[in-house]
Structure 1
Amino acid sequence: MQDQPILIALLAIAAGIFSLLGGINNWDWFMKSFRAGLFVKTIGRQAARVMYGLFGIVLITIGVLLLLIG
């Protein structure tokens, strides 16, 4: 049962890195995926890139904090 918080933290960090890189690198396949596509159509591609970058930073921060306190 002790490995679960570590796994969740590592998954949060991995998802955060993926989201951050998708926003920074402006991956076309990332921005045209179904969910990101809806987001892009709503607020625009540049704003979606910023939001995905911020979301990635938040996920990475949460993952690191979980590792530190867990």
Structure 2
Amino acid sequence: MGVHYFIQALFVLVGLLSLLAAICNWNWFFTAKNTQFIVRNVGRKQARWFYALIGFLMIATGVFFFLSIQGTV
């Protein structure tokens, strides 16, 4: 059962990282090799919106599964 909480926390933490990077416009995040594909294809402003959305969805997913597991216990 503890693994579920770890995965949920990981979703929330990664979502927060993505959301904060989009809000704060962190240069190190948007110049990283893994984000360059999105930045090159849609531009930095749209990439920030994309990563904000991804971050929000990851946070929501972690919270949703936390609440659904709490309901089954």
Structure 2 partner of 1:21: 20
TM-score (structure 1 length as normaliser): 0.95
Unaligned runs of 5+ in 1: none
Q: How many residue pairs are counted as aligned between the two chains?
A: 69
TM-score (structure 2 length as normaliser): 0.91
Structure 2 partner of 1:30: 29
Moved over 4 A (4+): none
Letter in 2 for 1:9: Q
Which of structures 1 and 2 has the bigger CA Rg? Answer: 2
Structure 2 partner of 1:40: 39
Q: Distance in 1 between matches of 2:48 and 2:4?
A: 29
RMSD over equivalenced CA pairs, Å = 0.6
SS at match of 2:34: helix
